[in-house]
Structure 1
């Protein structure tokens, strides 16, 4: 799941480059430039045809023989297959269960953490070129690509370290660092250009690092009966944050100013850090049954 986020950040960087080149060196309008992503969407659609169902979901639905067949074919570890059978629950999930006394903590943590991780990122990364220009760093391809490349490095670093340091260590502390960096950007209005660039680059690294956990935590803290519903709900909440960041940042930069905008981003990152400090569990070395059971109180 961490590798999924590495691919995501790599795709974001490549999309930035392709969009820039199409905008600068072709006569395509912005609608056609956005429309080029249709090619990738079609490829994804074709690639997903025939994908197997989740064996844990099948087991949860009581379709045990199908679950065993898929588990034996696709799961590399026999321990994972045994854990699926050990889970043993055939309880049917519902949307209401996300807010029950047993699962609200998982729902609040995953949704809030995801929202606070992506909102500043989408705002700054999408408009990296114009944001950097506000600080007098000039336009062009280099700034936006640099931020995306550093974000990719942050995601790779998290994936390499996650089984050594654990999830919680790579979740809460980096968010506090990101909060401080954005606060400095907001308060130090006359910071030298190179300092501003260094702060932005460092923020991108740490933000992508803990952002990688948004792909890992949902599958680990939600039990099978609501794993799909819970992950889907949290993803939807995060897209609200992505949309807000993308569409409100230009308005905020123009009407509230750069400093206030950065302080708002810092506040959002700070909320995510506090939420993670309170609720982020350590799931390293545990099976899915253990992580879901340990976070469902």
Structure 2
């Protein structure tokens, strides 16, 4: 839909007048610069969560980790991320998106350095938890920051750049791990070198964010209209900036008549409870696809598939490359393709692929020369499906669906449950795959993905093509669910 037909700002009498169309100019370059710097948080998110894939085996030997403490190193970051998601959302609502991202960059650096110098499991666990706090905060603050900066016409692709940077960080971790492992072997503290690399983007994020603006929507919500207009005017034409600020102010004024959206108020509004449950459901469903089991334990899965350990760490780069390609395709789709349709295709394809992995891992016994390569191809297809149809769409949707005054809280709670699901999967996946093998594990993932498909079909509303202010109206009044029911029946 065009800007002039779908969205409008408030005129002097409260009537709607068309927003000026989105145009290119110096402001377009500035918007791209701001998005690039902010998404270094996503790059760190990706690298920190994936680097353990190659660093864990040599770390286990040097720090004398048991199976329990090995799981603790992996899941410590994830449980920390769950806490960081909650704290990050609340902090960014009160302190601002920009300052919160700067604080997050400091935590990334401190956590990385603690992990690099860790002499034992205790120090390593503390460092991983600090990194987790930063990762969790990044997963809530950066998507919101990008969504609030973006014109609604390109909000999907701009907010989705964070997911592209996440998978780029994961791919970078796989490649760097393979290079370092090939050059230095698995001894001599090689895992410390792998972990030290993550300090570089943390420094870049800190320096870059010092020169970035605050979210104009957050500024307007605090009554700082002059600053909000100044920021918008660097990211839009002057006319468009003025019109958007008028629209933001109208919604802010309506909200100001309320007492403020505290937790009790949210829980008393059935529509807000519903959208919160949908956000939680999307976050948990994304994690239980099994994608992060591949990101954290990809080398382990590939060894079980039949690859030798030194080959597995190299071929593990394949899913990483496909993940980046899938994220690029997803970004091109976001502004032109229904969010709901994207989710439905994604969960349907992952369900089918998991069933195929289960069947073929049983049909091709260990020792069969084709087994590792067939399973690798299916794993690559699975990663590609998740990155193309699910990951970007989930993060973009979470950044869109909550009203402004509960946006930080809403995405924080949703991502908290996302990380809790991630953490328990990360903690118990080695036990699960050891007990049930690839066949049983992936049949289990197929059942979970089928349930997620049913949830999306029945519950998740469409968010594409509306400004954040229009979404706010529809979510608060329940209109968005009525529209969703009509689309399901159609």
Q: Which residue of 2 aligns with 1:84?
A: 248
Are 2:457 and 1:287 equivalent residues in the alignment?
no
1:195 alignment partner, one of 349, 366, 374: 374
Residue aligning to 2:109: none
Deviation per CA, 1:10-30, whole angstroms, max 9, x where unpaired? 111011111232234233243
Map of 2:439 onto structure 1: 259
Which of 256, 259, 272 is 1:103 aligned to? 272
Task: Report the Cα offset of residue 97 of structure 1.
Answer: 4.7
Cα-to-partner distance string for 1:230-272 (whole Å, 9 max, x where unaligned): 1222222222222223232212111232222212322332333
1:93 aligns with 2:261: yes
Q: Aligned to 1:184, what secondary structure does the other structure show? A: helix
Shift of 1:196: 2.1
Instruction: Give, in whole Å, the separation in 2 of the partners of 1:14 and 1:136.
Output: 25
Distance 1:263 1:128, change over 3 A: same
1:62 to 214, 217, 223: 223
Q: How many residues end up aligned between the 2 structures? A: 297
1:158 aligns with 2:330: yes
Aligned residue for 2:53?
none
Q: Report the Cα offset of residue 105 of structure 1.
A: 2.1
Partner of 2:291: 121
Does 112-121 or 72-81 show the bigger shift?
72-81
TM-score by length of 1: 0.89
- After superposition, the Cα gap between the structure-2 partners of 1:260 and 1:169, relative to the gap in structure 1 and judged at 3 Å, is same
2:220 and 2:249 in contact (8 A); partners too: yes
> Following superposition of structure 1 onto structure 2, how do residues 1-297 of structure 1 map, counting pairs within 5 Å?
1-26=159-184, 27-75=188-236, 77-78=240-241, 80-88=244-252, 89-90=255-256, 91=258, 92-99=260-267, 100-119=269-288, 120-138=290-308, 139-188=311-360, 189-191=362-364, 192-193=370-371, 194-209=373-388, 210-296=390-476, 297=478
After alignment, is 236-245 or 218-227 more displaced? 236-245
Native 8 Å contact 1:121 1:204 kept in 2: yes
Greater CA drift, 191-200 or 202-211: 191-200
TM-score, structure 2 normalization: 0.56
Q: Given the superposition, is the C-alpha separation of residues 35 and 242 from structure 1 closer, same or farther in structure 2, using an over 3 Å criterion?
A: farther
* Structure number, greater radius of gyration: 2
| Structural RMSD (CA) | 2.3
Question: Greater shift after overlay, 130-139 or 208-217?
Answer: 130-139
- C-alpha displacement at 1:222, in angstroms? 0.6
Instruction: Flag structure 1 segments of 5+ consecutive residues without an equivalent.
Output: none
Q: Which moved more, 1:271-280 or 1:82-91?
A: 82-91
- Kept after mapping to 2: 8 A contact 1:111/1:238: yes
Structure with the larger RCO, 1 or 2 (CA within 8 Å, 6+ apart):
1
Q: Distance in 2 between matches of 1:50 and 1:94?
A: 32
CA contact (8 A) 1:107 1:234 kept: yes
Cα distance in 2 for residues equivalent to 1:214 and 1:235 = 11
User: How far did 1:137 drift?
Assistant: 4.0
Moved over 6 A (4+): none
Alignment partners' CA distance in 1, 2:452 and 2:209: 33
- The alpha-carbon deviation at position 205 of structure 1 amounts to 0.9
CA–CA distance in structure 1, aligned partners of residues 191 and 274 of structure 2: 42
Quote the offset at 1:156 in angstroms: 1.2
Question: Residues 30 and 183 (structure 1 numbering): CA distance in 2 closer, same or farther, change over 3 Å?
Answer: same
Q: Which shifted more, 148-157 or 38-47?
A: 38-47
Deviation at 1:166, TM superposition (A): 2.0
Distance in structure 2 (CA, Å) of the matches to 1:35 and 1:217: 33
Alpha-carbon separation, structure 1, partners of 2:221 and 2:273: 21
Change (3 A) 1:37 1:95: farther
8 Å CA contact 2:302–2:312 kept in 1: the answer is no
